[in-house]
Chain A
Amino acid sequence: MYKILDKSIIGADEMVLNMGPQHPSTHGVLRLKIITDGEIVSHIEPIIGYLHRCFEKHCENLSYEQIVPFTDRCDYLAAMHMGHAYSIAVEKLLDIELPQRVEYIRVIMSEFQRIASHLIAIGAFGLDVGAITPFTWTLRDRERILDLFEQVTGARLLYNYIWPGGLAHDLPPNFIRNSIDFLDYFEPQIIEYDNLLTTNKIFIERSADVGVMPKEVAINYGVTGPSLRGSGIPFDLRKNEPYSIYDKFDFDVPVGEGKMGTIGDSWDRYYVRVLEMKESIKILRQALSQIPDGDVQSAMPKKIRPKKGEVYSRYETARGDVGFYIRSDGKNIPTRLKMRSPAYCNLSVLNEISAGWMISDVITILGSLDIVLGEIDR
């Protein structure tokens, strides 16, 4: 931490710096207005809205099945999570019970998507700090996951696969073998990333003790996801309020412990993501060995026309806690749909934890919070 100079003593002026919407390091079109004293930041104001596409208003004119491709496009780096969260919300409205095979496949897809999203988070964090090579390596591994997705759904980034009431279609015959091959290939790669980036002295210098987020600040601002767990709070929706079949699997919830600095610094948030990838591999191995047979589309209703009512359902995506609020009036289009986006609340804490650090640190902190502008602006 650096002390912010008292203006009255020196008579120096503040400088207003604009990290504009186009910048190599803000993960998307985010505009940051930084008020600094030399290199030391005293106040940050994020300005969002450059990617607003009127998702919620648009959904008031689309039927329930037609909304699924649009949920994909909100958080385009973790599209399966969004589709899954939305489907769970609609199924709560409709009161359907799903066959076991559908649940298992959905969990497998979600966990793969979690690994893919964390790989980008790790790579992009390294890129922000200056290490360019780990970014290309993580992206190469992510491409393999996207190949698996391509075999199942035909698309690599925006799938439109998890529909309310079931799935679009079943898995291809070789999928399980391919995914186990991938998992065997991927576990040593995490060790490689650790060697190159996580334990690198320069990286530790850059990120440890930087942007410490104490527990109270995290809870007050509504931060969720790995950023919250990096501050030492073991809250994970998959364990605390289990949805789908997550209570059948045996996995831990990694929590930041301040190994290289204080609890809740950027290194902790980063390391929680690395550990979460390992936990996801555990879940995947268990799920892949236990898939039952069944018909994937047996519970899908012909026309989705829920009764009058409203529902709010929560789901743990790679970035945090997404919530879908749907209100229906008995028609086949929702009357109101709202999405609570986790990255929006995570971004709001930026001002609090970056006061007193340098501009380079602002970028480090932003990278460790892992935001996606598509989700923030919707």
Chain B
Amino acid sequence: MGANFLSEYINNIIYGVKSFITGMGLTLKHLRNKKDLVATLQYPNEKWPLPERNIGFEPSDYNVIRSRLHVDIDDCIGCLQCEKACPVDCIKIDTLKPPKGNDYDCGKTSHDTQKKMIVPRFTIDMSECMYCDLCVHPCPEECIYMVGGPNEDKHEIDYEFSQYERHGLIFEFATSTDEDILDIGGETYLEERKVKEEKRKKGEKLEGIVKGESSESVDEDQPEKEKHKDPLLEIFNIVPDKVARGIAKKAVVFGKRSGFDFSKISEEVEGRISAAGKTTSEMSTAIETLKNYKPTPIDIEDPSNSKENESSSKVEKGVEELASKSSDFNVKSMDFITDKMIRGIAKKTFMKCKRLKLDVNATIDSIISDLDTNSKLDNDTKEKLLSFKDIGKTSDNLSEIKETIKEESNSLFDIKLLNAIEDKMIRGSAKKIYMAGKRANKSSSEVVEDIINELSDKMDDKTKGLIGDLE
């Protein structure tokens, strides 16, 4: 055992020494043969050759070298294939097509293809580019390529294009002048570009809040203030007396904060106004409106929209909002139900009915029946739901109002209502007819007639009925 250990010990040492000597001999060999084996390239004096130019492909300008991208802008037909292919979105292209009447000649590419649009903006951000070569392959005119190899003579710099500033790596290739853009009828494009440029310049300065221009800022703030005005307080704007207005508004705010409902708020206002002795006719009207006022889920554009509008679409919108204002029945009305399950069922039914465009009463009925079938209805809930129904009566008035308004103006129905048509093809054609009618300023009934005449053979009864309804 001892002898075994000793012999193993000695063997280890001998093996170790032998391996050391082999290793050291190898390193010495590398030291002596340094001239042949050195693998360093002294860079600025000696450069590594770029891969072979022609890899057996036509055309002979094709190369595999990855370096700076270049675009021969005269060849670009604006097909946007390279922009779609780029995984990091470093290519940004804007194209402009001459409209129908304009006969601007966009030119021909070097492969004799007629160009159909001009490219006023072709920016490649080389600091984002990942040199993956995916944009080079799809180009049909081979106008975007990486510099180097066979096309080296045309360019000054290839892969050594470091810049001192970051925006030096954003390459712009477009060469369209402003006159060209105006010739082709792209004034709006020029204006948009100007606006963007100004915004960018302003942003670059990063001035922050400038103290000397406080009056300007106040002016700018005011239109915003108007947007955020509370509609409840707006009601009192008809009262000419400022002091009375102030008292009334304060009372409203107090009432809101205390959580009163509207009748109580109006009582509060009345009380305060009479105590101040400012009761006038306008004030009483305002208080009445407040009593009957129902909050809407619609956003703040209400005040501006409830004012007079001439265009038909806005009237339509206003009517719709009025309808929803007075109905006060939306999904959130279900929130009084405390039980989560029942609330969920009620809301689901509400949404279903809304999609089917049932009116308020029908909705409430269906909700009640659904809750009943699930045996989740209790009397309190039923009563509350039925109370919502009462409000529904006003909607009848509203539909009358709607009709009258419609008859008064020759307003066209909204194109979005055509979305009810399920078939894609028919929907498309219907919309086209609608647009044609709109341009010709036809009335809604005429448009509907046109649609029916054109597509009657393709439509089924359901669709016909839908379109008939639109009238």
Q: Do chains A and B touch in the complex (CB under 8 A)?
A: yes
The residues of B that contact A200 with a CB separation of less than 8 Å are: 19-20, 23
Stretch in contact with the other chain, from B127-135, B347-355, B366-374, B462-470: B127-135
Interface residues in B38-66 by Cβ distance below 8 A to A read 39, 51-52, 55-57, 63-66
Question: A172 near B56 (CB under 8 angstroms)?
Answer: yes
Judged by a CB distance under 8 angstroms, whether A290 is at the interface is no
Known: A169-B55, A172-B55, A201-B15. A153 touches B23 (CB 8 A): no
Question: A195 near B26 (CB under 8 angstroms)?
Answer: yes
Question: B16 near A201 (CB under 8 angstroms)?
Answer: yes
Contact of B87 among A70, A151, A158, A172 (CB under 8 A): A70
Question: Shortest beta-carbon distance, A339 to chain B, in Å?
Answer: 17
The residues of B that contact A62 with a CB separation of less than 8 Å are: 87
Docked Cα-Cα span, A172 to B63, in Å, equals 11
Question: B55 near A170 (CB under 8 angstroms)?
Answer: yes
Question: Shortest beta-carbon distance, A343 to chain B, in Å?
Answer: 23
Interface residues in A150-164 by Cβ distance below 8 A to B read 150-155, 158, 160
User: What 1/0 flags go to A335-374 for Cβ under 8 Å of B?
Assistant: 0000000000000000000000000000000000000000
Interface residues in A169-195 by Cβ distance below 8 A to B read 169-174, 192, 195
The residues of B that contact A173 with a CB separation of less than 8 Å are: 55-56
The residues of A that contact B51 with a CB separation of less than 8 Å are: 150-151, 154, 172
Question: Shortest beta-carbon distance, A169 to chain B, in Å?
Answer: 6
Question: A152 near B64 (CB under 8 angstroms)?
Answer: yes
Judged by a CB distance under 8 angstroms, whether A253 is at the interface is no
Known: A62-B87, A168-B133, A168-B137. A154 touches B66 (CB 8 A): yes
Question: B23 near A154 (CB under 8 angstroms)?
Answer: no
Judged by a CB distance under 8 angstroms, whether A140 is at the interface is yes
In the complex formed, the residue of B with least CB distance to A58 is B87
Question: Shortest beta-carbon distance, A70 to chain B, in Å?
Answer: 7
Docked Cα-Cα span, A151 to B64, in Å, equals 8
Interface of B is mostly: loop
Judged by a CB distance under 8 angstroms, whether A18 is at the interface is no
Interface size class of B (residues with CB under 8 A): 20 to 34
Question: A160 near B133 (CB under 8 angstroms)?
Answer: yes
Question: Shortest beta-carbon distance, B117 to chain A, in Å?
Answer: 23
Contact of A172 among B27, B39, B52 (CB under 8 A): B52
Question: B131 near A155 (CB under 8 angstroms)?
Answer: yes
Report the count of interface residues on A (CB-CB < 8 A).
32
Question: B134 near A160 (CB under 8 angstroms)?
Answer: yes
Known: A65-B85, A66-B85, A154-B63. A170 touches B27 (CB 8 A): no
Judged by a CB distance under 8 angstroms, whether B258 is at the interface is no
Question: A169 near B57 (CB under 8 angstroms)?
Answer: yes
The residues of B that contact A69 with a CB separation of less than 8 Å are: 87, 130, 132, 134
Known: A160-B134, A195-B22. A151 touches B39 (CB 8 A): no
Contact of A170 among B56, B134, B137 (CB under 8 A): B56
User: What 1/0 flags go to A121-153 for Cβ under 8 Å of B?
Assistant: 000000000000100000010010000001111
The residues of B that contact A171 with a CB separation of less than 8 Å are: 55-56
The residues of B that contact A140 with a CB separation of less than 8 Å are: 39
Judged by a CB distance under 8 angstroms, whether A298 is at the interface is no
Judged by a CB distance under 8 angstroms, whether A22 is at the interface is no
Interface residues in B5-32 by Cβ distance below 8 A to A read 12, 15-16, 19-20, 22-23, 26-27
Docked Cα-Cα span, A172 to B62, in Å, equals 12
The residues of B that contact A196 with a CB separation of less than 8 Å are: 22-23, 26-27
The residues of A that contact B23 with a CB separation of less than 8 Å are: 195-196, 200
Interface residues in A314-345 by Cβ distance below 8 A to B read none
Docked Cα-Cα span, A151 to B65, in Å, equals 9
Docked Cα-Cα span, A34 to B137, in Å, equals 50
Docked Cα-Cα span, A201 to B64, in Å, equals 46
The residues of B that contact A153 with a CB separation of less than 8 Å are: 64
Docked Cα-Cα span, A269 to B20, in Å, equals 23
In the complex formed, the residue of A with least CB distance to B18 is A201
Known: A170-B57, A201-B16. A133 touches B64 (CB 8 A): no
Docked Cα-Cα span, A150 to B131, in Å, equals 14
The residues of B that contact A155 with a CB separation of less than 8 Å are: 66, 131
Docked Cα-Cα span, A174 to B52, in Å, equals 10
Docked Cα-Cα span, A154 to B134, in Å, equals 13
User: What 1/0 flags go to B245-266 for Cβ under 8 Å of A?
Assistant: 0000000000000000000000
Question: Shortest beta-carbon distance, B38 to chain A, in Å?
Answer: 9
Question: A143 near B39 (CB under 8 angstroms)?
Answer: yes
Docked Cα-Cα span, A151 to B56, in Å, equals 12
Docked Cα-Cα span, A284 to B121, in Å, equals 48
- A interface residues with partner B (beta carbon < 8 Å): 62, 65-70, 133, 140, 143, 150-155, 158, 160, 168-174, 192, 195-196, 199-202
Identify 6 new A-B residue pairs, CB closer than 8 A, beyond the known A67-B87, A169-B55, A196-B22: A69-B87, A69-B134, A169-B64, A192-B26, A195-B26, A199-B19
- The 9 nearest A-B residue pairs measured at CB: A154-B64, A201-B16, A69-B132, A66-B87, A140-B39, A172-B55, A160-B132, A201-B19, A151-B51
What are 25 A-to-B residue pairs whose CB atoms are below 8 Å?
A: A65-B85, A66-B85, A69-B130, A140-B39, A154-B64, A154-B133, A160-B134, A168-B133, A169-B64, A170-B55, A170-B56, A171-B55, A172-B51, A172-B55, A172-B56, A173-B56, A174-B52, A195-B22, A196-B22, A196-B23, A199-B19, A200-B19, A200-B23, A201-B12, A201-B15
- B interface residues with partner A (beta carbon < 8 Å): 12, 15-16, 19-20, 22-23, 26-27, 39, 51-52, 55-57, 63-66, 85-87, 130-134, 137
